[in-house]
A and B are shown apart, each in its own frame.
Chain A
């Protein structure tokens, strides 16, 4: 059972049930939907990007504890970060989950999300952990596009 305790840590179970970021934003610059068809994880991420900074983010959705905790921790980490910084951290997180870290990577940069590192031993759950991060990546792209035509549109629902 100790395996399971490493996976479903207090931090992860708490974040999975946290309601802090479960809300709608007033004027999001992008709304992006992410879905894992096989297990039914389904999140809608809203972001407000101002002057190249992720000013605010929120999400709604359903899914397993891993996907929901990962989303919640990601938003904690990303608010206030520049778009470039966010994309670097997304890449770092995905490489951590896929066991593709380099020697000079420092997962401490991911803050609490670094505790999801154990997922790399569970291939069936990798999709759950990375869902929010891939969705944010698309939201950033979507936001830049919306900047040009001004109104937030729903990005293409995607399959990972």
Chain B
């Protein structure tokens, strides 16, 4: 499989930072390159052939994404630049319109800053109250306080630190009982699990192309049509309009109402090709490869007495492992691993409230994708055995 990924094919680096971004297969790189070499034009703007083709490519990608996550209609798929922009779109456009003093926004303590700071800002500007779902000692969500004041529930399907698959079905059901909308951060789940927005019954879903083999700069917001239709535009400008008068404007229909300015056609082609690639492998296989890597890695890590693991005593988990080396700061661990050809992430992983909740300053994180191998994990383990020696602790 690694042979499909030019950057991995020489085997020099054990790339274990897939939660940050994934590598790109040859098929995606080629498709994007081919577009720029043979078709590039501004979509929606020209009557000539290249522009028509570029427009077609974007709309094809939209349809493919709709099918990929089982949305009812392609007009429920909005292109953004990443999950962060998708979440901000909901916070600004839906949030400002619908929240009032004393309303409640409920998120979890495990959120990435992208699904936390926009809600904090929204709360400040509307007088709404930001509340948190906390975690039990394993890292699972505790019972959420959803009540008649709750207007928005914004939760991650999988934390980018703990890697635990949160069962959102009860939260979503309860939120809907009280008329709250549910925003799901799918940045870590959509690349790893089969996603079905109708089955999940969420109102919004945000994810990034670059975490699922596509280029950086293309992201998706899925939104239930009835909400998207009633929401005001987020960004304004070209392409999102119908008629522009001197003092007023009428807006385009969905999905273009939310896509102001020239869109990222290369990115749309990239994510579309990435979906083809993922579907050829199939999520069943992707999940089983990642499960195998987890089952292989966790006991080996546990054998290293100087390692503390977080969120690892649960079954329902994807290939994300947060850990610390005793008495060594994660940043030093990452530098030492880097010198041994192992790429991991160190720091707070854009989840400071979670680290504070876990009483940690920061952590190391190894995260897998289906192209990783047991050999990558062996290299991680071997490199870790060196860390305390380099730091002159033994």
Contacts and interface: CB of A to CB of B under 8 A. Distances in A.
Interface stretch (A81-89, A96-104, A121-129): A121-129
Nearest to B392: A13
Interface string B303-334: 00000000000000000000000001111100
Contact of A4 (B328, B331, B336, B348): B336
A64 B339 contact: no
Nearest to A122: B335
A148 interface: no
Interface in B99-131: none
B339 A40 contact: no
A52 B392 CA distance: 39
B335 A7 contact: yes
B354 interface: no
A42 B332 contact: no
A64 to B, nearest CB: 4
A41 interface: yes
Contacts of A10: 392
B298 interface: no
A62 B347 CA distance: 12
B323 to A, nearest CB: 15
B266 to A, nearest CB: 28
B390 A39 contact: no
Given A1-B339, A64-B331, A40 B361 contact: yes
A37 B348 contact: yes
Interface string A1-17: 10111011010011000
Contacts of B347: 38-40
Contacts of A68: 329
B235 interface: no
Contacts of B208: none
Given A1-B390, A10-B392, A63 B329 contact: yes
Contact of A62 (B329, B346, B392): B329
A149 B171 CA distance: 53
Interface string A101-133: 000000000000000000000101100100000
Given A8-B391, A10-B392, A38-B347, A62 B361 contact: yes
A118 B346 CA distance: 21
Interface residues of A, number: 26
Interface in A35-76: 37-42, 62-68
Contact of B330 (A7, A39, A67): A39
Nearest to A37: B348
Contact of B339 (A4, A41, A66): A4
A64 B329 contact: yes
Contacts of B361: 40, 42, 62-63
* Max chain B C-beta neighbours (<10 A), residue from A1, A4, A13, A38: A4
A57 B330 CA distance: 27
Contacts of A128: 331
Given A8-B391, A39-B346, A65 B329 contact: yes
Interface in B339-394: 339, 346-348, 352, 355, 361-362, 386, 390-392
A130 to B, nearest CB: 14
Contacts of A37: 348, 352
Contacts of B392: 8, 10, 13-14
A71 to B, nearest CB: 13
Of B329, B346, B347, B352, the most chain A CB neighbours within 10 A belong to B329
B151 to A, nearest CB: 30
A4 B362 contact: no
A109 to B, nearest CB: 27
A67 B332 CA distance: 10
Given A1-B390, A8-B390, A62-B329, A40 B335 contact: no
Contacts of B336: 4, 8
B348 A66 contact: no
A39 B332 CA distance: 10
Contact of A40 (B330, B386, B390, B391): B330
Contacts of B355: 40
A66 B332 contact: yes
B119 to A, nearest CB: 19
Nearest to B338: A124
The 4 lowest CB-CB distance pairs between A and B, nearest first, are A40-B362, A64-B331, A64-B329, A39-B331
Interface of A: 1, 3-5, 7-8, 10, 13-14, 37-42, 62-68, 122, 124-125, 128
Given A1-B339, A39-B331, A41-B331, 7 more contacts: A1-B390, A3-B339, A4-B335, A7-B335, A8-B391, A66-B331, A122-B335
